[in-house]
Chain A
Amino acid sequence: NAGVTQTPKFRVLKTGQSMTLLCAQDMNHEYMYWYRQDPGMGLRLIHYSVGEGTTAKGEVPDGYNVSRLKKQNFLLGLESAAPSQTSVYFCASSSSQGNNQPQHFGDGTRLSIL
């Protein structure tokens, strides 16, 4: 069972470069999320989606864009990378059936901005 798959696993960028992180889930989940995890802090929500074609802002959306063109995929874009965006990025998905559904996480993308 693949679950939630994130690509790439590691990436180093220079300031000002752009890139897209890909998240794919095979559980037919309606909801998908992008988080960032920084040392000494809890995971923080960047953007999320409650269904194909929908997106919404989370706690820390500035500098990021997202798209959910297909139900199974959720893309996170950095248009002009900044050193402050150096972090570990996690994607997650969950079922829409009720509020007590666990989120299933990928294993993260480690991104360094030089």
Chain B
Amino acid sequence: KNQVEQSPQSLIILEGKNCTLQCNYTVSPFSNLRWYKQDTGRGPVSLTIMTFSENTKSNGRYTATLDADTKQSSLHITASQLSDSASYICVFPAEGGSQGNLIFGKGTKLSVKP
């Protein structure tokens, strides 16, 4: 069964610090992996989309990595800001690339404190 597991469930860090969020998956095959940011009370917003052939991809202070051998992805946030407080969700297409169905992880809730 296709599954996406994220860790930790929640994380508290001080402003300016770095952090890394983890995503383990059993989805196979897949064409891409997505990370979304969801602010409280808002809809998810796409941070990055990585294809199977990409090892790393950056979007500003956000860097996503993918290890297809261990079936792990991580999202690294550099020099955190208060506005980074949100849930971060790891997402895969469910049917080998079809846009018709995505598998969403439960997310990691990040709190950045001043």
Chain A residues packing against B (C-beta within 8 Å): 4, 31, 40-45, 48, 50, 56, 58-59, 90, 92, 94, 96, 99-108
Contacts and interface: CB of A to CB of B under 8 A. Distances in A.
Given A40-B106, A107-B42, A48 B93 contact: no
B63 to A, nearest CB: 17
Interface of B: 4, 31-32, 34, 41-46, 49, 51, 89, 93, 97-107
Contacts of B43: 4, 90, 92, 105-108
Which applies to chain A's interface (DSSP): helix, strand, loop or mixed? loop
B35 to A, nearest CB: 10
A42 B109 CA distance: 12
A42 B3 CA distance: 11
Nearest to A4: B43
Given A42-B89, A99-B93, A102-B49, A48 B101 contact: yes
A105 B87 CA distance: 15
Nearest to B4: A42
8 nearest interchain CB pairs?
A105-B43, A42-B104, A102-B46, A43-B104, A99-B97, A107-B43, A42-B106, A105-B44
Nearest to A48: B100
A107 B41 contact: yes
Contacts of A41: 106
A101 B41 contact: no
Contacts of A90: 43-44
Contact of B105 (A42, A100, A102): A42
B77 to A, nearest CB: 19
